[in-house]
Amino acid sequence: MAFDFEKILIEKHTIEKRVAELGKKISSDYADEELMAICILKGSILFFADLIRCLSIPVKIDFIKASSYGTRTSTSGKVKVDDLLSEKIKGRSVILVEDIVDSGFTIKRILDFFMEQGASDVRVCTLLDKPDRRVADVDPDYSGFTIPDEFVVGYGMDFDQRYRNLPYIAVLKETEK
Ligand code: PRP
Ligand code: MN
Ligand code: MG
């Protein structure tokens, strides 16, 4: 069975180049702090793995799981969060690594969670930003690409759990939804 999508939106080499730039910028911004990078499962796995390899500073990593889309192409608005953290984050500088900020509900919920846990500084690094769909009041500190209002898959992102393994980012076909 072949993958079926409308078009490739961002090619593999374009992602690689931009991720390297983000890694460089973050490394310079956090040169004097011990950074904790949080992977927001599942969507950010590929971006996270590539981004941390582009950091030239010491970094600790941890995981949190959040989901709200299920089998839909728009958010249910109910974000289910599972705390998988293995270390206390009180007083720490944290960077939340997301694949996409769409309505913003997911990242806002996690930002609030980390602030409540007493992190000293929490920033958001997203590969994709889709500002046209924003509902929650949140603005990523680091963003790879601003994209139009289209449902994208690949490079970690899914539709009904499929397409995550594509090494590029593609637009889902209308008929697939
Ligand atoms: C997707 C995506 C982001 C979030 C963005 O996660 O990976 O985490 O939605 O949408 P929002 O800004 O409207 O909240 P999803 O709920 O599909 O879970 P997944 O990461 O396991 O695929
Ligand atoms: Mn996600
Ligand atoms: Mg998803």
* Mutual angle of helices 45-53 and 12-29, in 10-degree steps: 60
Residue 169 belongs to a domain? no
- For residue 90, what is the domain's CATH number? 3.40.50.2020
Residue 30 belongs to a domain? yes
Residue 2 belongs to a domain? no
Ligand 1 close to Cβ of residue 129 (< 6 A): no
pLDDT digits (tens, 9 = 90+) for 34-85: 999 999 999 999 999 999 999 999 999 999 999 998 888 888 888 999 999 9
Count of domains for the chain: 1
pTM of the shown model = 0.96
Q: Which residues contact 32 (CB under 8 A, 6 or more apart)?
A: none
ipTM: 0.98
- Identify residues whose C-beta is under 5 A from ligand 2, the ion: 43
Residue 24 belongs to a domain? yes
Both ends of the chain: CA-CA distance in Å? 17
List residues with catalytic annotation: 102
pLDDT digits (tens, 9 = 90+) for 10-43: 999 999 999 999 999 999 999 999 999 999 999 9
- Which residue segment(s) compose the domain that 64 sits in? 10-150
**Tokens 């089998």 label which residue?**
71
Residue 165 belongs to a domain? no
Ligand 1 close to Cβ of residue 98 (< 6 A): yes
